[in-house]
C-alpha cells in the first residue's frame, strides 16, 4: 500500500444515525430530544394553537366594542332614510296637500277632548243620565263618583232636592250631568240669549253642547225649542235658594221662635255662653257633607247612640222633631249672638228652656230625618248668619 494513500474510515449504521450536529456542548439542549418525544411535540403545538386563537378572539372583541356606536348610528340613519324614501305621505298619495281646518268652526267641547291627546273620545258622555240614591250616599260622595261638582247635582235636581243636600234619601232618582253646570227646562217664550245670560254663559255654550242636539245655525232669539225640553247649560251657575229654617230671637230678647213641632215659644232666662267652643262629638272627622255655599254646616262622624255634647253654655230654644229634614233637632241659644244646631239625633235629653253647660250631654247621635247614615249635622250661627265651623275647630 502506498504510504500516501489516505484510508477512509467506515461508518456503521449507528454512527450514521448520529450526525455531528447532534453533539451537545456541556449544558446545552438537544432539539432531537423534543423530536424524539412525541408527547412534548404535541403539547407544544397545542399551546401555540390555543394562544393564537385567544389572541385573535381578543382582537375581534375589541374591534366590535369600539366600532359598535358608529355602526349603530350608520344603520339607524340608513334605515330611516330608506323608510322615508319608500313611504309616501298621505298628501303625496292623494297628489295634493291637506286642507287647513279653522279651529273657529270646531265644537269647543270636542276640540278640547281631541287636543288633550286622545285619538278618540271613548269616555266622553254628552247626554244626561240618572242615578238612584243608595243607602249611605251623600251629596259630596255622589258628586265625586261622577267627577262633577256637588252644586251641579243640586242645580240639576231642584224639583227633588230644593237646593238642600240634607234631604237626600235612598231611592231618589237624580239627574247626573256629563259636565259641570245646570239643567234647564225650556219655557214658552224663552230666548237662548236671555237664558244664557241668566246663568252666566253664552248662547254658543248651550247650542254647541252635543247632548242638546241643537243646530249651530239656530235662531238665538226665536229658536223654536219646544216648551218642556231640558237643556244642559255647561258652566252655568245661579244663586242657591234658602232652605234652612230661620232661628230668630223675639224683640223682647228672652223668647225664641223656630218653625216645627219642637219649637220653644215661652219666655226663658239662662246663662250666656263662654265664647270657648267644645266639639260636640268625640271625633273631629267629617264623614258627609262639608261646609259650603249650599250646605251651611258640617256632618260629623259618630256611631248610632253616641253621646252628643253642647258646644257651649246656653239655653235650649228648640228640642224635638223638625219638618225641614233635620229629624230630631236641638238648638241652643248662647245669649251672645251665637246659636248652635244639632240634627239627626236618635234621642233628645233636654227640653225647652233648659240651661246646658259647655260639654254637657244633650242627646244621642242618630240618623233621623233626611239622612242616609248616622252622623251629626252641626251648624254655628252668629247674629243670624251661618258661619263655617272650620274657623273654630280643628277638623278632618
Q: Could you read off the pLDDT of 148-192 as tens digits, one per residue?
A: 998 999 999 999 988 887 778 889 999 999 999 999 999 999 999
Task: Write down the mean pLDDT value for the chain.
Answer: 77
Other CB atoms within a 10 A radius of the CB of residue 303 amount to 13
- Between CA 193 and CA 195 the distance in angstroms is 6
3-state class (DSSP) for residue 58: helix
Largest CA distance in the chain: 181
Enter the CATH code of domain 248-391: 2.70.70.10
Fold exhibited by the domain 129-234: Membrane-bound Lytic Murein Transglycosylase D; Chain A (3.10.350)
Is this structure's pTM higher than 0.75? no
- The rounded Cα 326 to chain-centroid distance in angstroms is 32
Q: Do domains 129-234 and 248-391 have the same CATH topology?
A: no
Strands 256-257 and 327-333 come out as unpaired
Percent of the chain at pLDDT above 70?
A: 68
Query: Looking at residue 271, what is its pLDDT?
Result: 74
Q: What is the pLDDT of residues 73-95, one digit of tens each?
A: 665 555 555 544 454 444 444 44
Distances (CA, A) of 76 to 65, 143, 244, 305, 385: 18, 52, 72, 74, 73
- Between CA 340 and CA 334 the distance in angstroms is 8
Helices (H), the chain: 13-16, 31-35, 38-86, 90-94, 108-115, 139-145, 150-155, 158-161, 192-198, 203-207
Q: What is the pLDDT of residues 101-113, one digit of tens each?
A: 444 444 544 444 4
Q: Are 363 and 328 contacting, i.e. CB atoms less than 8 angstroms apart?
A: yes
Q: What is the pLDDT of residues 53-73, one digit of tens each?
A: 778 777 877 777 676 666 566
- Domains of the chain, by residue range, sit at 129-234, 248-391
Q: Are 369 and 325 contacting, i.e. CB atoms less than 8 angstroms apart?
A: yes
User: Rg (Cα) of the chain, in Å, rounded?
Assistant: 48
Amino acid at each position: 500500500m502506498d504510504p500516501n494513500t489516505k484510508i477512509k474510515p467506515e461508518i456503521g449504521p449507528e454512527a450514521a444515525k448520529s450526525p455531528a450536529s447532534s453533539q451537545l456542548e456541556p449544558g446545552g439542549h438537544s432539539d432531537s430530544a423534543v423530536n424524539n418525544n412525541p408527547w412534548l411535540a404535541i403539547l407544544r403545538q397545542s399551546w401555540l394553537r390555543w394562544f393564537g386563537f385567544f389572541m385573535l378572539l381578543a382582537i375581534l372583541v375589541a374591534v366590535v366594542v369600539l366600532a359598535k356606536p358608529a355602526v349603530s348610528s350608520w344603520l339607524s340613519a340608513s334605515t330611516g332614510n330608506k323608510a322615508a324614501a319608500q313611504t309616501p305621505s298621505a298628501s303625496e298619495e292623494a297628489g295634493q296637500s291637506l286642507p287647513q281646518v279653522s279651529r273657529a268652526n270646531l265644537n269647543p267641547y270636542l276640540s278640547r277632548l281631541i287636543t288633550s291627546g286622545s285619538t278618540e273620545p271613548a269616555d266622553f258622555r254628552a247626554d244626561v243620565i240618572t242615578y238612584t240614591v243608595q243607602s249611605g250616599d251623600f251629596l259630596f260622595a255622589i258628586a265625586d263618583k261622577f267627577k262633577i261638582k256637588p252644586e251641579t247635582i243640586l242645580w240639576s235636581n231642584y224639583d227633588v232636592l230644593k237646593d238642600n243636600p240634607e234631604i237626600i234619601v235612598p231611592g231618589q232618582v237624580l239627574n247626573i250631568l256629563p259636565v259641570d253646570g245646570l239643567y234647564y227646562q225650556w219655557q214658552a217664550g224663552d230666548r237662548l240669549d236671555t237664558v244664557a245670560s241668566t246663568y252666566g254663559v253664552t248662547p254658543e255654550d248651550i247650542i254647541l253642547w252635543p247632548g242638546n242636539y241643537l243646530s249651530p245655525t239656530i235662531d238665538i232669539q226665536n229658536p223654536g225649542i219646544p216648551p218642556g225640553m231640558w237643556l244642559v247649560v255647561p258652566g252655568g251657575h245661579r244663586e242657591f235658594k234658602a232652605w234652612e229654617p230661620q232661628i230668630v230671637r223675639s224683640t223682647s230678647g228672652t223668647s225664641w221662635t223656630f218653625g216645627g213641632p219642637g219649637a220653644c215659644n215661652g219666655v226663658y232666662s239662662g246663662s250666656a255662653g263662654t265664647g270657648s267652643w267644645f266639639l260636640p262629638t268625640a271625633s273631629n272627622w267629617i264623614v258627609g257633607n262639608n261646609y259650603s255655599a249650599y250646605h251651611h254646616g258640617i256632618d260629623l262622624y259618630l256611631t248610632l247612640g253616641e253621646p252628643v255634647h253642647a258646644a257651649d253654655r246656653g239655653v235650649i230654644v228648640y228640642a224635638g222633631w223638625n219638618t225641614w229634614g233635620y229629624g230630631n233637632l236641638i238648638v241652643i241659644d248662647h245669649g251672645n249672638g251665637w246659636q248652635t244646631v244639632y240634627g239627626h239625633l236618635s234621642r233628645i235629653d233636654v227640653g225647652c228652656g233648659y240651661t246646658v253647660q259647655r260639654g254637657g250631654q244633650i242627646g244621642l247621635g242618630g240618623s233621623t230625618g233626611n239622612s242616609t247614615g248616622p252622623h251629626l249635622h252641626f251648624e254655628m250661627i252668629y247674629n243670624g248668619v251661618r258661619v263655617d265651623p272650620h274657623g273654630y275647630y280643628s277638623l278632618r
